[in-house]
Amino acid sequence: MKIVFLDASTLHSGELDLSVLEEFGTLTCYPASSECEIPERIVDADIVITNKALMTAANIAAAPQLKLIVSCATGVNQIDLDAAKTAGVTVSNVAGYSTRSVAQHVFTFILNFATQIPQFNAKSRDWPNFPIFTSLAHPIFDLEGKTLGIIGMGTIGEAVAKLAIAFGMRVLVLEREGSSNQRMPELPRLSAGAFFPNSDFISLHCPLTAETAKCINTESLAKMKSSAYLINTGRGPLIDEAALAQALTDGTIAGAGLDVLSSEPPAADNPLITCQYPQLTITPHTAWSSFESRIRLLDGVTNNIKTFLDGSPANKIV
């Protein structure tokens, strides 16, 4: 078997041992692969591993020996699933590896907004201009008694809700048609008309579908408190980015913490990249990437290859 990892730098920078994959065949790892490099790199591959490198219909067609594509992630939007199915190529993913890391990242955003640590960190270098070593320039507040609204009560949403409760926060869930409400059924499920105006923070954890795309838009932002903060560690297209940039500029909401954008890397004219609002924090899709999460992810990739070769593929998408 020839195994090609198209963008291994998304999983590690030398600190993980990928030789475990060599048990299954000859392994070739590329730190990253541009669109034009992919066909040549996979031309004789049996197994392709990809996090962000695109496995388009053309790229799948360029690999006549291809038998398995492993998404080194939960999402499979980088893979043309219809083309894979037509070509008889199995596609698998890895789920659940980053729950704790993402929930931690959500609360990093929330705590930074509550404590204003980034702003005070900058100010602490400029104390000659202040008479005492303290400041009320950036008001801070307690999380206890505040309300966290969650859109999408999956495993990550549940983990975030439990952290919020530990901080003494109230938790609301946006009522969505088709939701099973099996996770934490004791939490109030509210319609959009009640959910948005009653949340001090809103955190997005729902899947990206035709129904949820741009669910955060001019209308929903207008329903939020002017003191509220929006957190997105889910999918970038859940937000109408131009509408959010305008809402921040106009003071419609207090701030936003984003780990994902509609296109990654973002275009230079992305309205959130060009927005200079001080209470907008953007991280480069790192919420998932704790060391422990990446160990679990590598274990998942390894298991997907092993079970496929054993004839009982785990986590099969196609």
| Tokens linked to 60 | 């799948």
Read off the DSSP letter of residue 14: S
- Please check whether residue 116 is in contact with residue 142, taking contact to mean a CB–CB distance below 8 angstroms: no
138 is catalytic: no
**Catalytic option among 158, 235, 241, 294:** 235
170 is catalytic: no
Which of left, alpha, beta for 315 (phi over 0: left; psi -120 to 50: alpha)? left
**Catalytic option among 264, 292, 294, 296:** 264
CA distances from 315 to 4, 47, 91, 96, 97 (A): 19, 15, 8, 11, 13
Please tell me the distance from the alpha carbon of residue 170 to that of residue 274, in angstroms, as a whole number: 34
Please tell me the distance from the alpha carbon of residue 167 to that of residue 143, in angstroms, as a whole number: 6
Nearest to 25 by CA among 48, 49, 2, 50: 2
Please tell me the distance from the alpha carbon of residue 33 to that of residue 71, in angstroms, as a whole number: 15
Other CB atoms within a 10 A radius of the CB of residue 81 amount to: 15
285 is catalytic: yes
Please, which contacts does 91-94 make with residues 24 or more away whose CB atoms are closer than 8 Å?
91/316, 91/317, 91/318, 92/68, 92/304, 92/308, 92/313, 92/314, 92/315, 92/316, 92/317, 93/304, 93/315, 93/317, 94/70, 94/296, 94/297, 94/300, 94/301, 94/304, 94/315
Reduced to 3 states (helix: H, G, I; strand: E, B; else coil), residue 102 is helix
| Tokens linked to 109 | 């955003």
Active site (catalytic) residues: 235, 264, 285
